[in-house]
Chains A and B, each alone.
Chain A
């Protein structure tokens, strides 16, 4: 550009590079999120749950050889909360409720992170191909998505998990197979909307390639609803996972909240409430916390959509 020489040298302030700008923006978002007290409550619960999950080997003595399996104390069946050595009581099979809850948070964390990670990735790829390329690709992929959507989520996951045999890994697999469809739809819709924007034309007009426009203009502007949905799903996937393990699709005796609830359910009618109530409460808190944060995120990131 010949004009460069004609101008006096322009000084760009070195203090505020793009990174600083980005951090400033992130700071703004965090501040806005924290302005909502309900979101803060959700965040606090999540932080506590995560801490519990991470510190599980420290605050309990891990059961050898497999710490994810609940230790059985056959000398202490159906002990109420407050029993020495079993602060939250034991199940009918001598499982320590506190141990189950603490290691259950670890199981839940693993479940939700893996399922959300895998489904968001698959959903983004499929949704992007469909939405960005359009035409026959879109037509084909969306018919595949329709097939998945035609079967109710829970029933579909249950069928897959049952087919693969009872194991927690299979539950994770089943949920991953079922849940990506939702993200594919969200991303596709967003991309079809975003690619109509003038700034996409504007990018084409300066000579950007199609893929570069996708990575720079289309995807970053399409992603916020996915982040909100993923946060919500971090909660609901644990709920569905617990449902599947409650009906016996996980290994027996796994330190998992659904398994624990199912072990305790026989005692509910005879007054032994603790074995089901405490893990049930954990599932409730987990799902609630992620929903609160998800709502808060939506208000900040995507103010135009009303909360459902």
Chain B
């Protein structure tokens, strides 16, 4: 079905200047009543160094899309129904290699990418830390996982195999006991000290006061803002190429939120990381992102440069979203909600998913999937109405017949 195949033609396919490219990604969930199309042929690119915002209401599939990058969607009930996510890591690019498809590479390769080349920050920092591990131990995990060679470097080539295995976290119980006995102990301690230094530096990076003390604390002893800083430190520890931020400030209160956002912006700038920023907060996305993709009911309906999308929203849904945001331009009481709610996504028929709530919906919207239409070089929309430029201006009951679209299929 190419009708919805929403190629983000705004950037090249060659991989130059891209960090990741999502093509026709479909993720379905097996339910008792049928297949739920949570993500339906979604395509977009993430360019090198950019922050791409993915906005939409709860349940529109933005988190599922994000989790697919890490292959975190549980299968079953999830099904990767189609499409691919190409990822260009800085390592393979330096070696002249091409992209890898994150959905199909073997698990051991994926382990090397997670936390190392792609990192993720979760919504609720209160739940994302293991309550049984101290902050220091928890952060040390990343370094043991991805930087064990660097940790062992200063020890020289004569390092006993046991110490090496311990640094890669492959040591068995017996070996761990061996490491507490003198000759090995001093070397194990040097590895530990090297890790601690890195952990402390990573924490200091996120402006946590007194990192040495925080490392010995347990998650329940920290505030939510602190925990999010720890998670940010963990995410950026290995200088990833791509950071996926899944509503990182939603669970924080407003003042903390502002400071965390500042921190993220500053760190991203310094690390030169590309970001997929997921949020339902339009004002926030407007401030953070270079480009915005709007998602509705499992599909991307509009994508473009932030200024373009905000100054000239094309899709009725995007317009609805913007009208529902309070701003100084609006008079008090002038907020408009979008009528209705997200449609049932179980085994959907071809149609525009927004037709049940759209003030401009015509017959064709209920029968055919709309296709991607480019408005400007960077700005695209998926809407039948835009197949005919006069359509949006027309009143709903005077919608054109869309004969041209029908004929094209």
Which A residues are within 8 Å of any B CB, using their own CB?
1-4, 7, 9-13, 16, 18, 20-21, 25, 135, 197-199, 201-209, 212, 216-217, 220-221
Known A1-B239, A198-B124; judge A206-B119 contact (CB<8 A): yes
Name A206's contact: one of B114, B132, B213, B239 (CB within 8 Å): B114
Contact check, B205 vs A7: say whether CB atoms are below 8 A apart: yes
B247 at the interface (CB under 8 A from A): no
B21 at the interface (CB under 8 A from A): no
- Min CB gap B328→A, angstroms: 36
Listed A/B pairs (16) with beta-carbon separation below 8 Å: A1-B239, A10-B197, A13-B212, A25-B218, A198-B127, A199-B129, A199-B131, A201-B122, A205-B70, A205-B72, A207-B113, A207-B142, A208-B111, A216-B141, A217-B133, A221-B132
Name B231's contact: one of A13, A135, A202 (CB within 8 Å): A202
Contact check, B128 vs A199: say whether CB atoms are below 8 A apart: yes
Bound form: Cα–Cα A67–B396 in Å:
97
Name B115's contact: one of A16, A18, A207 (CB within 8 Å): A207
Contact check, A199 vs B130: say whether CB atoms are below 8 A apart: yes
Known A198-B124, A199-B129, A221-B130; judge A207-B116 contact (CB<8 A): yes
Name B114's contact: one of A20, A197, A205, A216 (CB within 8 Å): A205
Inter-chain contacts of A9 with B (CB < 8 A): 197
- Min CB gap B20→A, angstroms: 16
The winner among B115, B134, B213 for most chain A CB atoms within 10 A is B115
Interface size class of B (residues with CB under 8 A): 35 or more
CB-CB nearest in chain B for A202: B128
Contact check, B72 vs A208: say whether CB atoms are below 8 A apart: no
Contact check, A203 vs B130: say whether CB atoms are below 8 A apart: yes
Known A10-B201, A10-B211, A205-B72; judge A1-B147 contact (CB<8 A): yes
Name B212's contact: one of A11, A25, A204, A212 (CB within 8 Å): A11
Name A208's contact: one of B76, B141, B205 (CB within 8 Å): B141
Q: What sequence of 0s and 1s flags, for each residue 304-317 of chain B, a beta carbon within 8 Å of any chain A beta carbon?
A: 00000000000000
B146 at the interface (CB under 8 A from A): yes
Contact check, A16 vs B216: say whether CB atoms are below 8 A apart: yes
CB-CB nearest in chain B for A10: B200
Contact check, B131 vs A221: say whether CB atoms are below 8 A apart: yes
Name A207's contact: one of B146, B216, B218 (CB within 8 Å): B146
Contact check, B169 vs A212: say whether CB atoms are below 8 A apart: yes
B202 at the interface (CB under 8 A from A): yes
3 tightest Cβ-Cβ pairs between the two chains A and B: A206-B115, A10-B200, A198-B127
Contact check, B114 vs A207: say whether CB atoms are below 8 A apart: yes
Inter-chain contacts of A2 with B (CB < 8 A): 239
Inter-chain contacts of A207 with B (CB < 8 A): 111-116, 142, 145-146
Bound form: Cα–Cα A47–B62 in Å:
58
Bound form: Cα–Cα A201–B113 in Å:
15
Bound form: Cα–Cα A220–B132 in Å:
7
Contact check, B130 vs A216: say whether CB atoms are below 8 A apart: yes
Known A4-B201, A7-B205, A12-B200; judge A209-B111 contact (CB<8 A): yes
- Min CB gap A194→B, angstroms: 10
Contact check, A1 vs B198: say whether CB atoms are below 8 A apart: yes
Name B201's contact: one of A1, A20, A220 (CB within 8 Å): A1
Contact check, B196 vs A12: say whether CB atoms are below 8 A apart: yes
Contact check, B113 vs A198: say whether CB atoms are below 8 A apart: no
- Min CB gap A190→B, angstroms: 13
- Min CB gap B95→A, angstroms: 19
- Min CB gap B337→A, angstroms: 31
Name A205's contact: one of B112, B119, B201, B203 (CB within 8 Å): B119
Contact check, B196 vs A1: say whether CB atoms are below 8 A apart: no
Contact check, A204 vs B114: say whether CB atoms are below 8 A apart: yes
Bound form: Cα–Cα A9–B204 in Å:
10
- Min CB gap A11→B, angstroms: 6
Inter-chain contacts of B364 with A (CB < 8 A): none
Q: What sequence of 0s and 1s flags, for each residue 107-125 of chain B, a beta carbon within 8 Å of any chain A beta carbon?
A: 0000111111001101110
B137 at the interface (CB under 8 A from A): yes
Bound form: Cα–Cα A9–B194 in Å:
12
B60 at the interface (CB under 8 A from A): no
Bound form: Cα–Cα A84–B197 in Å:
72
Bound form: Cα–Cα A1–B218 in Å:
25
Name B141's contact: one of A1, A10, A203, A220 (CB within 8 Å): A203
